[in-house]
Amino acid sequence: MNKKIQLQDLGKRDYKSTWEYQEEIFKDIVDLKIKNRREELDQPTPNYLLFVEHPHVYTLGKSGDLENLLLNEKQLEAKGATFYKINRGGDITYHGPGQIVGYPILDLENFFTDIHKYLRFLEESIILTLAEYGLESGRSEGETGVWLGVGTPFARKICAMGVRASRWVTMHGFALNVNVDLGYFDNIIPCGIRGKGVTSLNVELGVEKVDEEEVKAKIIKHLKQLFEAEFV
Q: Which pTM was predicted?
A: 0.94
**φ, ψ of residue 97 in degrees (nearest 5):** -55, 140
| CA distances (Å), origin 180, targets 49, 147, 172, 199, 220 | 22, 16, 20, 8, 21
Mean pLDDT (the chain, rounded): 93
Q: What band does 63 get if pLDDT is binned at 50, 70 and 90?
A: confident
Binding site membership: which residues?
88-95, 160-162, 173-175
Q: What is the pLDDT of residue 195?
A: 55
Task: Say if residue 72's pLDDT is above 70.
Answer: yes
Task: Say if residue 232's pLDDT is above 70.
Answer: yes
Q: What band does 196 get if pLDDT is binned at 50, 70 and 90?
A: low
- Identify each DSSP E strand in the chain by its residue range: 4-12, 48-53, 57-60, 82-85, 92-95, 99-105, 137-140, 143-148, 156-166, 169-177, 197-198, 230-231
Lowest mean pLDDT among 49-53, 114-118, 194-198: 194-198
pLDDT in tens, 110-128: 999 999 999 999 999 999 9
Binding site membership for substrate: which residues?
88-95, 160-162, 173-175
* CA dist., res. 67 & res. 138, Å (int): 28
H-helix or E-strand spanning residue 116: helix 115-131
191 an active-site residue?
yes
Per annotation, catalytic residue among 191, 198, 201, 210: 191
Handedness of CA 221, 226, 230, 232 (dihedral sign): negative
